[in-house]
Amino acid sequence: MWTILYCNRHNNDAPHMNSTIAINPSAQILSVDTKNKFPKKYAWYNADRVVRDGIRKIRHKITGTNIAIAEWDTAILQKLEANLDLSNAFRWANIASYEHWAIPRDMLFYRTTSLKDFVVGGYRWSYVEMAIDVLDIWLESRYDWLYKENLYCEVRPSTILNSRGVSISGRGLQRPMMGGPKDKKTLNKPGIYHPIYETVPHNKVTEILQMHDSKEWEYLFKE
């Protein structure tokens, strides 16, 4: 079973929660409050910190064995594989990389720690997947010291997990599935899209449901 964690800065439902529920009706979907008092640039660079803090507050509500974390403007317009085995796995949306652009900067810090041999990044933080046991490793208090540092969100989580023997990989989502398009009118097939700032129109969700040969949840979008 999947639990999809939608991050929202204002403690309200993200705009794509209803469409995600329609296409993945068996998944548990929770809203993660990532409201914070950090400067905007710091919060962007350390996005994993505010997400981690928010998930900790609702960890007791999570029931899924597979976890997807999505930014508020990520539209999950495809069925997540119900029986996918994510045991001991963490998947970035696109690719995992030992040459991530942020590593040279952050390595100035990591090379002074026991994590220096495990530094790995990935693309993109807008959508990631992992097993529930991997989520719990990431949330462990033993790593709180690392979250007092100014470190990039697309390097820190996978570095922590890599040091614990978790398999780090990429889901293989190709553009325009991630990284565009912004125009909601181009959402013409199942996929995971980012950034999409507005609610996906009902007719688009219906079309995608039909592509998945399912219509039973269309009532969610009736006027």
Q: Give me the helices (H) in the chain, please.
A: 17-23, 40-45, 47-58, 103-110, 132-139, 156-162, 202-211
* CA 168/CA 200 separation, integer angstroms: 31
Q: Where are the extended beta strands (E) located within the chain?
A: 2-8, 28-33, 66-70, 75-77, 89-92, 95-97, 121-123, 127-131, 167-170, 191-193
Could you tell me if 177 and 193 are in contact, meaning their C-beta atoms sit under 8 angstroms apart? yes
Could you tell me if 160 and 52 are in contact, meaning their C-beta atoms sit under 8 angstroms apart? no
Domain that holds residue 148: 2-221
Pairing of strands 66-70, 127-131: antiparallel
Biggest CA pair distance of the chain: 58
* CA 130/CA 65 separation, integer angstroms: 9
Q: How confident is the model at residue 205 (pLDDT cuts 50, 70, 90)?
A: confident
pTM, two decimal places: 0.89
26: domain CATH number is 3.90.550
Q: How confident is the model at residue 203 (pLDDT cuts 50, 70, 90)?
A: confident
For the chain, the domain total comes to 1
Query: What pLDDT, in 10s, does the model give residues 108-135?
Result: 999 999 999 999 999 989 999 999 999 9
Question: Tokens for 152?
Answer: 């990039």
pLDDT at 186 over 90: no
Q: What percent of the chain has pLDDT over 70?
A: 87
Question: Tokens for 57?
Answer: 């507050």
Question: Tokens for 166?
Answer: 């978790």
pLDDT at 68 over 60: yes
Closest C-alpha to 91, from 28, 135, 59, 60 = 135
